[in-house]
Structure 1
Amino acid sequence: MLVGRMGGVYERAYVQKRLDRWDEVEEGGEKLSAKLRPSGQDDMSILAMQRLNDYLPNGPASPVNMVLDYFKHDYEFAEPPRVTSLQNVVPLATFTDFDDDIYFVADQRGYEAVVYYLAGQYLKADKSGNIVNPRLQLNKVVTEISHSGGGVTVRTEDAKVYKADYVMVSTSVGVLQSDLIQFKPRLPTWKVLLIYQFDMAVYTKIFVKFLRKFWPQGKGREFFLYASSRRGYYGVWQFEAQYPDANVLLVTVTDEESRRIEQQPDNQTKAEVVEVLRSMFPGEDVPDATDTLVPRWWSDRFYRGTCSNWPIGVNRYEYDLLRVHRTPNLSIGIAPVGRVYFTGEHTSEHYNGYVHGAYLSGIDSADILIKCAQKRMCKYHIPGKFD
């Protein structure tokens, strides 16, 4: 990994010394997180943990410290350490359970292939793999979910009406925080409050194409960081090992920078990108970019962001309530909000924010629904808040 700045590249030893210090702080953070009470009363931000470990007490100030901090935190959670829960993301379950190597998946079929593969296991498909079962309704925009003791009614933007015994809502938490879907009757106040407590972060991968390569290549140079005095300003770059002849660079931005970039023309983004690259490689003849791809997850009404991030102070008891409905006696268990169930990456107990979290939470939520619908096992026990 190289760290660039205006006018060139930092010395490797200079950067490594700061990375080693960050590793020490992270180890201290893991030990502290393990000691916090499960109730969440002692939870703190990752930034607060850094201060406790005497790591840049006022936050990272120099460009190199800022971009390293960004790479270690914002690049993973899409939000800065000051808003991210220490207790619920350190150590990060995904890295603990699946290793902490980061791979760029270059499968041109996209995630859609996974969805069709799973659906094809129980819905009829043609020889090409396309789902032809009439129960699968695509390109339908749900605008209203009415629910009662007798069942649910779902209305779509094209004035179609669908009736069922139960409904599983798998939209992002960002959509739940918007007015796209109206629930009738409205969701309970406690549920709405929990939905709005969770953060819907914005994570933007910008692809930039050039006529030729001008950047460093070889082992250990997949990542290149740009140390700017402005946090998150085109900070994390990847060089395309998966598409060696494409002449494409990938730069990741998050949070405020993502929102800013989504609201400006792509030509302006392209110009900013080239300006950054020319400042990093002053000795190279950096050409103008020929094309860019700028996703707009935050502006898209079907997403309203990219993934959830666990904020400070939301403990696992409250998180369980995000998925299900409490009953007057928590020792007995819980039941859905009427016949409305919820699933999605934001309901994954350990892997929120990730695709595997969405997949596993879907299995978990479906199991809860099936047990209730078919076996009348509608009680789902969760520990009390202070247990």
Structure 2
Amino acid sequence: MKPPSTAVVALVLLVVVAQYAFLAAAAAGPKVIIVGAGMSGISAGKRLSEAGITDFVILEATDRIGGRIHKTKFAGVSVEMGANWVEGVNGDEMNPIWAMANGTGGLSLRTFRSDFDHLSKNTYKQEGGLYDEKLVEKIMERTDEVEESGSKLAGTLHHSGQQDMSVMAMQRLNDHMPCGPSAPMDMVVDYFQHDFEFAEPPRVTSLQNTQPLPTFNDFGDDVFFVADPRGFESVVYHVAGQYLRTDRNSGAIRDPRLKLNTVVREISYFPSGVAVRTEGGKVYRADYVVVSASLGVLQSDLIRFKPQLPSWKIVPIYQFDMAIYTKIFLKFPTRFWPEGPGTEFFLHASERRGYYPVWQQFEKQYPGSNVLLVTVTDDESRRIEQQPDSETMAEAVEVLRKMFPGKDVPDATQILVPRWWSNRFFKGSFSNWPIGVNRYEYDLIRAPVGRVYFTGEHTSEKYNGYVHGAYLSGIDSADILINCAKKKMCKYNVKGKQY
């Protein structure tokens, strides 16, 4: 046998030296790196702290914590660009977000129960004027009947997801075609029932995993709109303040473990640890990393993994949808819309599905502000994000002038259009459960790859898409890491799809 060449020996020595150098650097660095300071990342940090793992850093790409929970000033009031409602209240179980916002958490946020019971009185024709209330009620009652039938059908489908179907397919089975050759009124009622909740149409949404929704089954049917100057993000600060150092006077986080404006571009993982490289070229080394980036970011090329994530991980990441939910705020010099009990929400029925369909006035939340909110989703969100705000303002005002032909509808003076899809740090609003997948795929998304752990609302099998889902997923993923780091229970079992 020939002795190894000098080049081969040098290469082996180089690899050994590099491994020792990495281990030495990791020993000097934190034990855990958390990528992202949204609700799930902050929740994971709290759970790690409770378990005695306090040696970590949180790398956040933006200049704030909260992620897709973000307030801003508009027309003199504080509005929410992202998550706005605590959904699932007054049920048998306590929603953990509600407990913090208006329960034992002590924040006592200014919230308002959203009452959607009067939409039949407030559904407007495309060319103006109201539909007959009884006619709209009939459509809504039929929609409820079909939904109830769909929930019963969903309960009979095999849990593997192999018999799953779209919500639209279920509607067709019930001879209900609000997505097909139907009237604008049928479409807008269907839009409110589905797109307004999931940000995607029934043709792409799973029946089995959305009817009935665990959020409302577990926590209650009520939803509460947050309209507090402190913002919905104060819930995230409330969680962070339980383990991160904050300024006593301002409440700002002063903990050196939180690194804002730190964009992660590469995560390398080895049997011995991880290395996280930022956009500025700085490298953080640790024993473990928790990635709380959104599903949309995981589906983009913002963060590169070295080596590439295994196929069993990549495939389920791309099986799920990152939906877009856009709340457009408009400021007017005067009010021209109906006010009083039962007028908070109103619908615009258009022959073009999802064209400025769901409106909300803020008589209670922001009295005297003269602000309206209109919500669009999916393809309309993408279209609107790519056009100037002036065009969006003109379109929305034109819709209002047709809805209220007898009113003097003035030009809007200000507009706010969030762009979650265009933002490379989010690439959408929240995940939506598509057809044919079940807990197996969710377990794969949540499962660690070596020393790389994953969390976020998209890893919450029961509550994906919701703030409480993000909060609970942070706890769940941190517990998986804790089992490995402290108990040496590092094997994560994913049961087969048939189970």
* Class of the TM-score when normalised by the shorter of the 2 chains: over 0.9
Is 2:452 the partner of 1:340? Answer: yes
Q: Name the amino acid aligned to 1:154.
A: V
Q: Partner amino acid for 1:126?
A: D
- 1:153, distance to aligned residue in structure 2 (A): 0.7
- CA deviation string 1:6-51 (max 9, x = no partner): 1211011010000000110000000000000001110000000011
Q: Write the distance in 2 (CA, Å) between the matches of 1:23 and 1:385.
A: 31
How many matched pairs? 376
| 8 A contact 1:274–1:288 mirrored in 2 | yes
> Aligned pair 1:276/2:399, yes or no?
yes
1:124 CA displacement: 1.7
Quick check: 149-158 or 223-232, which moved more?
149-158
The question of 1:196 aligning with 2:318 is answered: yes
AA partner of residue 358 (structure 1): A
The whole-number CA distance in structure 1 between the counterparts of 2:317 and 2:179 is 31
Aligned to 2:152: 31
Q: 1:323 is matched with which residue?
A: 446
User: Over the residues paired in the alignment, what is the CA RMSD in angstroms?
Assistant: 1.2
Aligned to 1:170: 292
In the other structure, the counterpart of 2:429 is 306
Q: Is the 8 A contact 1:238 1:251 kept in 2?
A: yes
Gaps of 5+ in 2: 1-118
Question: Cα offset for 1:251?
Answer: 0.2
Distance, in Å, in 2 between the alignment partners of 1:21 and 1:148 is 56
Q: 1:316 Cα shift?
A: 1.3
Q: 1:333 is matched with which residue?
A: none
The equivalent residue for 1:359 is: 471
Q: Per the alignment, in what secondary structure is the counterpart of residue 322 of structure 2?
A: strand
Give 1:384 deviation, angstroms: 2.0
Q: Structure 1, residues 313-336: CA drift from partner, whole Å, max 9, x if none?
A: 112112211110xxxxxxxxxxx2
**One-letter amino acid of the structure 2 residue matched with residue 243 of structure 1:** Y
Tell me the SS of whatever aligns to 2:224.
coil
8 Å CA contact 2:292, 2:454 repeated in 1: yes
Q: Give the whole-Å Cα distance in 2 for the aligned partners of 1:58 and 1:142.
A: 41
Report the Cα distance in structure 2 between the residues aligned to 1:381 and 1:149, rounded to whole angstroms: 19
- Aligned: 1:259 with 2:382: yes
Compute the TM-score of the two structures, normalised by the length of structure 1: 0.95
Q: Does 1:3 align with 2:126?
A: no
Which residue among 185, 203, 222 is the counterpart of 2:344?
A: 222
How far 1:283 sits from its partner (Å)? 0.6
Letter in 2 for 1:69: D
Higher deviation after alignment, 132-141 or 272-281: 132-141
Q: Secondary structure at the match of 2:217?
A: helix
Identify the match of residue 328 of structure 2 among 189, 206, 218: 206
1:246-305 CA distance string (max 9 Å, x none) = 000000000000000000000000000100000000010000001000000000000100
Q: Percent identity?
A: 69
* TM score, norm. by length of structure 2: 0.74
User: In 2, Cα distance between the equivalents of 1:133 and 1:320?
Assistant: 33
Shift of 1:342: 0.4
Task: Kindly name which structure, 1 or 2, has the bigger radius of gyration based on alpha carbons.
Answer: 2
Gaps of 5+ in 1: 325-335
Which amino acid is the alignment partner of residue 211 of structure 2?
A: V
Which AA in structure 1 matches 2:471?
Answer: Y
Out of 108, 112, 129, the residue aligned to residue 229 of structure 2 is 108
* 1:115 Cα deviation from its structure 2 partner: 2.2
TM-superposition CA deviations, 1:130-166 (whole Å, max 9, x none): 2222111111100000100111111111121111100
